[in-house]
Amino acid sequence: MNPEVREQELMNQAESVVNRALQLGADDAEVSLSSGQEFSCVYRGESLDKLEEAGNQGIGLRLFVDGRVVSGSSSDLRAPVLDQLMRDLIDAAPHVDPDEHHTLAPPKALDGQVQDMGIFDPATVTEEAPERLQRALDAERSVRGFDERISATDGASFGAAYSTSVTAASNGLRRAVTGGWQSLVADAICNDEEGKKRNGYFWSTARRLADLKTANEVGEEAARRALSRLGALKPATGRYPVVFSREAAPALIGLLVGCTTATSIWRQRTYLADRLRTAIASSAVTLIDDPLLPGLLGSSSVDGEGRSRRRNVLVKEGELMMFLAAQYGANRTGIEPTASASRPMASQPGEGTTNLYMAPGEQTPDQLIADIDEGIFVEGTIGFGFNSLTGDFSRGAFGRMIRAGQLAEPIAEFTVSANFDELFGGIDAVGNDLIWDRKSACPTLRVRSMAIGGAG
């Protein structure tokens, strides 16, 4: 696949659909087209449990008619089908309430130039299926052969995908991006003495195939994690210092940043609405969204509305510096757009993050733990317990006790609870272990005190 050729082919088609929509009566039109391929396989034991490989294509339209916006999508790109879809949308427009805030970005804002961000690896296209199958099988064998206490697995899987996406609109927007990724996942299961099943999983995801961890690395780490949870008990209810691992911490910053958008303000779903330029966290906390870091899962030089991406500092040393805004949210709130538009296929762009991270500190994770006489090390959280209007947070969790500055026995089936002002305000140290293995990355972090619901 030649990305440049494919991008031009799709762009020509998108422009043709925009022009046709205007001919049929739309005042403005926006068209997104995507085309790509996906591969996935799963091994359980020595058996191939799942194998899928398929091409995909789709088109999404937003048509602006007399102050109203109608949208639709189709996986059938034949001209007569799209013609009928546009006619149906335009006919439906009078039944939609007008909304003056629905606008395309002004032409003068379309300053984005698509750059090579290192998000497409030709090996994602050229690697043959037998190599992919072998990688998943090797990961599964690595799990099962690691220790005789591994009683089962939930399978080892390999997936890869690439796609080309283009957007054209009557305001002059022209945006084309080709990207890909691959992922290897393993899951291990073992039984403790009471018959409870303990799971451990591990994964590796990367834009470049060469950056993917090996099957042995993924499988053995999944097995180690399962074995480390054998015999886990509930900790005693109380208040403890809590250390969130670098794998548990990204969920926290994702929830916080979800409260720093123009959409959350106009929908009145954020406890931070009136907190701009005030402290919302301790001075140890700096949150940055940087789309211009090359080769990462969120890297992009142009946002979904055609603006040049930029590095946004959301929280600086604990102070809330900005709210993210796409065009619609900007129109509703008066906040200037922040080049943070995330594009769905066939609805209005909203605010989204790219490569979101908490700035690392200087201490190692072991050093964060060393100062704690008795505490909780959270390896992962479970559930959806967060109220964005109040900032109240409570989730199930699993991990290990900290005793005398060392990780001790495994614990599970407990809750960690705090208001976000208390939680983020109580972060007194951030680790130096920032690792980009997902779109949102966060080092290990330590909170002075949190409520733990467990036994007793």
Q: How high is the pLDDT of residue 187?
A: 96
Q: How high is the pLDDT of residue 346?
A: 85
What's the pTM? 0.95
Residue 105: φ, ψ to 5°? -65, 145
Any idea what the Cα angle at residue 430 is, between residues 424 and 435, rounded to 5°? 115
Which amino acid, one-letter code, is at 370? A
- Going from N- to C-terminal start, the domains of the chain cover 3-226, 232-456
Any idea what the Cα angle at residue 123 is, between residues 119 and 129, rounded to 5°? 130
Q: Which CATH architecture has domain 3-226?
A: 2-Layer Sandwich (3.30)
Contacts of 112 (CB under 8 A, 6+ apart): 175, 301, 302, 303, 306, 307, 308, 309, 339
Return the structure tokens found at 341. Answer: 């538009």
Q: How high is the pLDDT of residue 195?
A: 81
Q: How high is the pLDDT of residue 219?
A: 98
Residues in the chain, pLDDT under 50: none
Contacts of 251 (CB under 8 A, 6+ apart): 381
Pick the closest to residue 90 from 61, 60, 70, 67 (CA basis): 70
Q: How high is the pLDDT of residue 78?
A: 96
Contacts of 117 (CB under 8 A, 6+ apart): 292, 294, 295, 299, 300, 301
Return the structure tokens found at 270. Answer: 């954020």
Q: How high is the pLDDT of residue 199?
A: 93
- Other CB atoms closer than 10 Å to residue 430's CB: what's the count? 24
Return the structure tokens found at 447. Answer: 């909170």
Write a three-state SS string for the chain: CCHHHHHHHHHHHHHHHHHHHHHCCCCEEEEEEEEEEEEEEEEECCEEEEEEEEEEEEEEEEEEECCEEEEEEECCCCHHHHHHHHHHHHHHHHHCCCCCCCCCCCHHHCCCCCCCCCCCCCHHHHCCHHHHHHHHHHHHHHHHCCCCCEEEEEEEEEEEEEEEEEEEECCCCEEEEEEEEEEEEEEEEEECCCCCEEEEEEEEEECCHHHCCCHHHHHHHHHHHHHHCCCCECCECEEEEEEECCCCHHHHHHHHHCCCEHHHHHCCCCCCCCCCCCECCCCCCCEEECCCCCCCCCCCCECCCCCECCCEEEEECCEECCCECCHHHHHHHCCCCCCCEECCCCCCCEECCCCEEECCCCECHHHHHHCCCEEEEEEEEECCCEECCCCEEEEEEEEEEEECCEEEEEEEEEEEEEEHHHHHHCEEEEECCCCCCCCEECCCEEEEEEEEECEC
Pick the closest to residue 182 from 153, 215, 164, 205 (CA basis): 205
